[in-house]
């Protein structure tokens, strides 16, 4: 699985958009970009994933650069409940050996009132 680099922490104002960058310069053609978050020691929660097109769901938007070497997770209107550690993970969608997820340090996002 390709390595990802994320800033260790960032603050965001409540109600504003939060833009979380992730660098994955060694991503290969069949690897997806996945975003998970972990709220205060709860189990990781899936947010969104994408291959090369931008994606949007009710939680967030994912913008992937044309060369796929980096991406940005956008929380459009951050709330206090979005305070969490956000993980960017790059891997294939399916592996016959199993589908483990490799978590890095993530970005600790603090949403402030």
The token pair that represents 26 in the structure block? 């060694």
List the one residue from 65, 99, 110, 112 that touches other proteins (CB under 8 A).
Answer: 99
Q: Is 94 in the site for other proteins (CB under 8 A)?
A: yes
Q: Which region, judged by CB under 8 A, interacts with other proteins, from 2-10, 15-23, 40-48, 71-79?
A: 40-48
Q: Is 29 in the site for other proteins (CB under 8 A)?
A: no
DSSP 17-66: -EEEEEE-TT--TTEEEEEEEE-TTSPPEEEEEESSS-EE-SS-EEEE-T
List the one residue from 1, 10, 49, 61 that touches other proteins (CB under 8 A).
Answer: 49
**CA 14 vs CA 38, 45, 63, 105: distances in Å:** 18, 21, 21, 23
The token pair that represents 11 in the structure block? 């603050």
List the one residue from 5, 17, 69, 104 that touches other proteins (CB under 8 A).
Answer: 104
The token pair that represents 51 in the structure block? 């291959």
Q: Is 108 in the site for other proteins (CB under 8 A)?
A: no
Q: Is 41 in the site for other proteins (CB under 8 A)?
A: yes
- Nearest CB to other proteins, comparing residues 17 and 101: 101
Q: Is 53 in the site for other proteins (CB under 8 A)?
A: no
């Amino acid at each position: 699985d390709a390595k990802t680099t994320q800033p260790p922490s960032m603050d965001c104002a409540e109600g504003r958009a939060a833009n979380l960058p992730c660098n994955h310069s060694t991503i290969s053609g069949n690897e997806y970009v996945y975003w998970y978050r972990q709220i205060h020691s709860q189990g990781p929660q899936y947010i969104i994933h994408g291959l090369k097109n931008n994606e949007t769901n009710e939680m967030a938007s994912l913008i992937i650069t044309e060369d796929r070497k980096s991406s940005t997770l956008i929380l459009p209107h951050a709330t206090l409940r979005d305070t969490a550690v956000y993980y960017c993970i790059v891997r294939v969608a399916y592996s016959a050996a199993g589908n483990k997820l490799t978590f890095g340090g993530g970005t600790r996002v603090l949403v402030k009132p």
